[in-house]
Structure 1
Amino acid sequence: MTGQRADARRNYALLLAVASEAVATDGADASLEQIARTAGVGSGTVRRHFPTRRALLEAVFHDRIESLCTLARELAGHADGRAALLEWLAAVTASTATIGGLAVALNRDRMAGTEPHCATSRLTEAGSPLVARAAADGVLTAGVTTTDLLALVTGIALATQDHRDAATESARLLAITVAGISPDPARGAVDPARGDTGAGPV
């Protein structure tokens, strides 16, 4: 039994490494059969470890999602609630725009209906205190939710995924969005050409 468990752990680690490379190259619809062939295992082994494509994508993006959740928790203590929210949104935008398959995976989560521990639910839970604080401080348009902001960010990432400089273009579009949802009265209009969100570098 111990040997079998060790083999299962090795297979899981190998499959996750191969899947991560495949998704980075081919996106969220990377071939499960090709992943199995590259890892040198049968398709049944892939299915045992990842019963659905959603489960595979959750595993592939787990560490990145966790880092974004950790950032949100760290920013909760920031002195400026608006700056904290915008820094987090900028980080989520950069990740979704530049990491192959992540925006598609999050969008599918949202369309399918989130589950308690899926990536979208974790991001929503982590970002909600930042949104609530910005709203309480009067620096976020009334009624805007964390779900709304994640949908906007995901949309920006999907719109720029084939751009030659996705990171810069997504930052520019985020700046335009921020001008609508959280204008900064202290600075006036933002400068989308510079990717300026009114909260310093993003």
Structure 2
Amino acid sequence: MTDSSGDTESPRRPLRADAQRNEDKVLEAAAAAFAREGAGASVKDIARAAGVGVGTLYRRFPSKELLIAAIYRHEVQRLCEAAPHLAATQAPVDALRTWMERFIDFMAAKDGMADALRVVLTDDSERLHTRTLLADAIEYLLDRDGDPALARPEVEAQDVLMALGGISLMAANEDRRDLASRLIDLLLHGTVATG
């Protein structure tokens, strides 16, 4: 993988458990701050919300751009990892609805970082890889244990993902999170097999 300057990134070494917890707290606090305040969110406020010092944050993420790229990757990973957990703990339609709602929240956080992400994530292959990961998570929820009974036979995970992307755009343009939930209900009616 390459960074925004075109240099190849070295693979990350695994962090100690306490350092990983601190990084997760930073990424969660930063995602919330960027969703609320956009790319102008204060790094000092993010560190305070995460319960770490600014120096700790800067040692791990020397620039705001690197922090934003890490948030994006972390949130994609969390969203994808949620699919098996939701499938194991909720009824099929409820699991799919919960995942869709989380996707909308992910997109809201991403929109808050949009300008910075355009600079950081210049690699089309990363965007395509993200789309594939998200579509795979949807496919997992649509086809649990090889039982495709949840979805209509013509429904494809990529189409559901594209529809969710459209819903997030409309809700953001209207500045109405409740609209996204209503449109998710319509999408579910078109996705889920009846009878």
Distance in 1 (CA, whole Å) between partners of 2:61 and 2:193 is 48
Letter aligned with residue 174 of structure 1:
I
Please name the residue that 1:190 is paired with. Answer: none
Q: Are residues 1:101 and 2:109 paired?
A: yes
Give me the identity figure in percent.
17
Residue-by-residue CA offset, 1:57-115 (whole Å, 9 max, x unaligned): 2225644543344113545xx6xxxxx2x33331122223345315788xx99x93458
Please name the residue that 1:55 is paired with. Answer: 70
| Superposition pairs of residues 94-173 of structure 1, within 5 angstroms | 94-98=101-105, 100-102=108-110, 112-113=124-125, 120-132=131-143, 136-137=148-149, 139-142=151-154, 144-161=155-172, 163=174, 165-166=176-177, 168-173=178-183
Say whether the 8 Å CA contact 1:93–1:170 is kept in structure 2.
no
Please name the residue that 1:70 is paired with. Answer: 85
Residue-by-residue CA offset, 1:132-167 (whole Å, 9 max, x unaligned): 46984495142x32122122122212211354651x
- In structure 2, stretches of 5+ residues that fail to align are 1-14, 48-53
Say whether the 8 Å CA contact 1:36–1:43 is kept in structure 2.
no
Count of residue correspondences: 163
- In structure 1, stretches of 5+ residues that fail to align are 79-83, 187-202
Distance in 2 (CA, whole Å) between partners of 1:38 and 1:138 is 41
Distance in 2 (CA, whole Å) between partners of 1:145 and 1:125 is 10
> TM-score, normalization: structure 2?
0.55
Secondary structure of residue in 1 paired with 2:61: helix
After superposing the two structures, state which structure 1 stretch, 10-19 or 93-102, moved more.
10-19
1:173 CA drift (Å): 1.5
Q: Are residues 1:35 and 2:35 paired?
A: no
Secondary structure of residue in 1 paired with 2:152: coil
Letter aligned with residue 186 of structure 2:
I
Larger Rg: 1
Please name the residue that 2:94 is paired with. Answer: 87
Say whether the 8 Å CA contact 1:68–1:91 is kept in structure 2.
no
1:122 CA drift (Å): 4.2
Distance in 1 (CA, whole Å) between partners of 2:66 and 2:88 is 31
In the superposition, relative to structure 1, how do residues 180 and 17 fare at CA in structure 2: closer, same or farther (>3 Å)? closer
**For the aligned residues, what is the CA RMSD?**
4.5
> TM-score, normalization: structure 1?
0.54
